[in-house]
Amino acid sequence: MELGLKGKIALVTGSSRGIGRGIALAFSDEGCDLLLTGRDKQALEEVAQSIRAKGRTAVVHPLDLRAPSAPAALVETARRELGGLDILVNNAGTTKRGDFFALTDADWEEGYALKFFAHMRLARAAWPLLKERRGSLIAIAGTSGRKPDKSFTIGSSVNAAVAAFTKCLADLGKEDGVQVNCIHPSLVETERQWRRIRGEIERTGEPEAKVRERFCQETGIIRFGKVEDVADLATFIVSSRGTWLTGATIDLDGGEIPVL
């Protein structure tokens, strides 16, 4: 199926591993050139090598998106080294779990700094380039924004804020010709998820298979998601086949969300 992505330029944040890495590789499979960013330079270079092996361009710009100056630096790199920007995927961000009363102000500030303020600042900085090319923006949030959890107060709040902000941008995008959508993944097989599983194995002494099964049952999903599940959806959204999809928040959740 021709998706119309050959020669498009995409910036994917948090692209050194996990969902961001999967999206970057999926885009390159369809002919996109990539600007990769994250804090692990070596991991980013490994992703870039995989992309270059396919004959596509990959530019690496490692930085910490919590820095207010980082978004402008990334956008300038896209303009200078790649000639513009067609697709922005705001994926970077992690938030701390735990007892609400044990979480500190610094924990809350950290969660919002990377997964909300970084998204907001980068969207603002990249918007002129996206508008110029009638491009696409995807925010990766999480199902806790739809089904809040008392043990995940920071993540639940941040993901809901990301979804609301993305909906606002989608209205602006209708005026400026920029497609904007949000994806809420449920539990996905990433290193971060594996750390949770490993921690539970150590805490309970249960075998890995039992811990995984219990996580799925407690969450209400048929299986853990794969990075490729999220990457395939993101690729469709920004393709020529997905142009009517705008302002949507899609629960990619294996059946987790129980409401309409």
Q: What is the CATH number of the domain that holds 133?
A: 3.40.50.720
Within this chain, do residues 40 and 154 fall inside the same structural domain, yes or no? yes
Within this chain, do residues 67 and 26 fall inside the same structural domain, yes or no? yes
Within this chain, do residues 130 and 51 fall inside the same structural domain, yes or no? yes
Q: Judge whether 258 lies within some domain.
A: no
Total domains present in the chain: 2
Q: Judge whether 259 lies within some domain.
A: no
Question: Could you tell me the residue range of the domain that residue 206 belongs to?
Answer: 189-224
Helix 153-176 with 118-133: angle, nearest 10 deg: 20
Within this chain, do residues 169 and 209 fall inside the same structural domain, yes or no? no
Within this chain, do residues 88 and 152 fall inside the same structural domain, yes or no? yes
Say what the pLDDT of residue 93 is. Answer: 86
This prediction has a pTM of 0.95
Within this chain, do residues 41 and 137 fall inside the same structural domain, yes or no? yes
Contact 180, 218 (CB under 8 A): no
Q: Judge whether 18 lies within some domain.
A: yes
Q: Judge whether 109 lies within some domain.
A: yes
- Sheet with 249-252, strands from edge to edge, namely 58-60, 33-37, 9-13, 87-90, 136-140, 179-185, 249-252
Within this chain, do residues 215 and 231 fall inside the same structural domain, yes or no? no
Within this chain, do residues 19 and 85 fall inside the same structural domain, yes or no? yes
Q: Compute the distance between CA of residue 197 and CA of residue 208 in angstroms, rounded to an integer.
A: 7
Q: Judge whether 123 lies within some domain.
A: yes
Q: Judge whether 74 lies within some domain.
A: yes
Say what the pLDDT of residue 192 is. Answer: 84
Paired with 89 in beta bridges are 12, 138
Q: Compute the distance between CA of residue 145 and CA of residue 159 in angstroms, rounded to an integer.
A: 4
Q: Judge whether 256 lies within some domain.
A: no
Per-residue pLDDT tens listing for the chain (260 residues): 799 999 999 999 999 999 999 999 999 999 999 999 999 999 999 999 999 999 999 999 999 999 999 999 999 999 999 999 999 999 988 899 999 999 999 999 999 999 999 999 999 999 999 999 999 999 999 999 999 999 999 999 999 999 999 999 999 999 999 999 999 999 999 988 889 899 999 999 999 999 999 999 999 999 999 999 999 999 999 999 999 999 999 999 999 999 88
State the residue for tokens 């920029």: 178
Within this chain, do residues 133 and 144 fall inside the same structural domain, yes or no? yes
Radius of gyration of the chain (CA): 18
Within this chain, do residues 194 and 104 fall inside the same structural domain, yes or no? no
Within this chain, do residues 86 and 109 fall inside the same structural domain, yes or no? yes
Within this chain, do residues 101 and 182 fall inside the same structural domain, yes or no? yes
